[in-house]
Amino acid sequence: MLRIALPNKGRLSQEARELFTDAGLEIRAAGPRALTASLGGEFQALFVRAQDIPEFVADGAADAGVTGFDLIQESGRELDELADLEFGRCRLAVAAKEDSGVTTLDDITAGMRVATVFPRITKAFFHERQVAVEVVPVSGAAEIAPHIGIADVIVDLVSTGSTLRVNGLHEVATVLESTSRLISTPAVRADIARSRALDELVGALSSVLAARGKRYVMANVPRERLDDVKRVVPGLNGPTVIDIMNGGAFVAVHSVVAAATIYRTIADLKALGAEGILVTRIERLMP
Ligand code: AMP
C-alpha cells in the first residue's frame, strides 16, 4: 500500500483531487470529512493540512505527498521532488505599504520588522542579502501587520495581487516562485514494491499533465499540400497520414498539437484547403 498525503482543504485541495481523478486514481472516501480514502489499487489517500505534508512525508507517516513548493522549502526537510504538478502557482513576495517609501529591496534596512507565515524562508532570504531584519512570525493575514504597527513590510503569497491591492500594499520583490509538487523520500525509493508503485503514480500524473497542454487535430487536406501541412502540424514524430477512399485528391491527417496555439493551427490548416477539421482533448499523453 502506498499512502499519499493530499491537502484536505484550501486552494491546493480541489486541484489535487481533479488531477488524481483524471489520472484514474478516483478518491473513494467514506464521507466528506473522512481522513483517509482509497484511490483504487494499492494507493491510499491521507487528508491533512498542506503545511503539514512535508513533515508527514519526511517522517514516514505518508510515503508520498502533494503540496506547495513554498511549504516544502519552509519545512526545511530533505525531500525528493518527483514531479512539478503545475497547479497552485503563486509567488512568495516582499510587500510594503503604498506610502511607506519602500519601493526596492535596498529600502529595507537592518532592524526593520518583517511579518510572515514563512519565517524560515524569510530569514534565509534576508540573511543571504546580509540585512539584519527582525522576522515577526504570524499564523495568517500578514497583510494587516504593517497597518497595525507590528511590522514594516511583509513576506506573503501572491497569486493575482488583489489581496495586496485591497490592503494598500505593493509588491517590492519576489522571494520564490511556487507550484505544487509530488514529494517522497529516499527511504520509500529503497523499498522495491513502494518504489514501483511510486513510478506508476508519477507516470499516471505526468501523462495527464502532458495531455492538458495538447489537443488532437484531425483534418482532410489536399494531398498536394501535404508538405505544407506537415509544417503546420509536425506532431510528436510527424503527422499520421491516412488515405481516404475518395479518389486520392484528399488525405486525412492526424496530429498532436499545442493547445495554446490551436486557433492558429486551425487557421493555417484552413488556408491550406483543409476540410472537416476536428479537435479533441487528450486524456493522457506518454511521449
Ligand atoms: P491573490 O489576492 O490572488 O494575490 O491571493 C493572495 C492570497 O491568497 C494570500 O492571502 C495568499 O496567502 C493566498 N494564496 C494565493 N495563492 C496561494 C497558493 N497557491 N497557496 C496558498 N495560498 C495562496
**CA angle 274-277-278, nearest 5°?**
160
The closest alpha carbon to 179, from 265, 92, 258, belongs to 92
pLDDT of amino acid 287: 80
Residue-wise pLDDT for 90-127, tens only, equals 999 999 999 999 999 999 999 999 999 999 999 999 99
Question: What's the total number of domains in the chain?
Answer: 3
Mean pLDDT of the chain: 96
CA of 248 to the centre of ligand 1 (A): 57
Residue-wise pLDDT for 218-261, tens only, equals 999 999 999 999 999 998 888 999 999 878 899 999 999 999 99
The protein residue with its alpha carbon nearest to ligand 1, atom 19, reads 88
**For ligand 1, is residue 160 a contact (CB within 6 Å)?**
yes
CA of 105 to the centre of ligand 1 (A): 22
Residue-wise pLDDT for 261-286, tens only, equals 999 999 999 999 999 999 999 999 98
Query: Residues 224, 100: one domain?
Result: no
pLDDT at 66 over 90: yes
**For ligand 1, is residue 161 a contact (CB within 6 Å)?**
yes
The protein residue with its alpha carbon nearest to ligand 1, atom 11, reads 157
Query: Residues 83, 183: one domain?
Result: yes
Tell me if 256 is assigned to some domain.
yes
pLDDT of amino acid 246: 78
- CATH number at 257 reads 3.30.70.120
**For ligand 1, is residue 68 a contact (CB within 6 Å)?**
yes
**For ligand 1, is residue 88 a contact (CB within 6 Å)?**
yes
The protein residue with its alpha carbon nearest to ligand 1, atom 16, reads 159
Tell me if 286 is assigned to some domain.
no
Q: Which of 188, 211, 234 is the last residue of a domain?
A: 211
What mean pLDDT comes out for the span 14-42? 92
Tell me if 67 is assigned to some domain.
yes
Query: Residues 173, 184: one domain?
Result: no
CA of 83 to the centre of ligand 1 (A): 22
Query: Residues 170, 229: one domain?
Result: no
- pTM recorded for the entire structure: 0.91
State which residues form the domain around 254.
Answer: 214-281
Query: Residues 118, 82: one domain?
Result: no
Residue-wise pLDDT for 147-200, tens only, equals 999 999 999 999 999 999 999 999 999 999 999 999 999 999 999 999 999 999
Residue-wise pLDDT for 118-161, tens only, equals 999 999 999 999 999 999 999 999 999 999 999 999 999 999 99
pLDDT of amino acid 167: 96
Q: Percentage of the chain surpassing pLDDT 90? A: 92
Tell me if 287 is assigned to some domain.
no
pLDDT of amino acid 236: 81
pLDDT of amino acid 31: 84
Query: Residues 72, 186: one domain?
Result: yes
Residue spans of alpha helices (H) in 217-272: 226-232, 262-271
- CATH number at 58 reads 3.40.190.10
Tell me if 6 is assigned to some domain.
yes
Instruction: Give all strands (DSSP E) within the chain, no chain letters.
Output: 2-7, 28-29, 36-38, 43-48, 64-68, 80-84, 90-97, 113-116, 134-137, 153-158, 169-178, 180-184, 214-222, 240-243, 250-258, 275-281
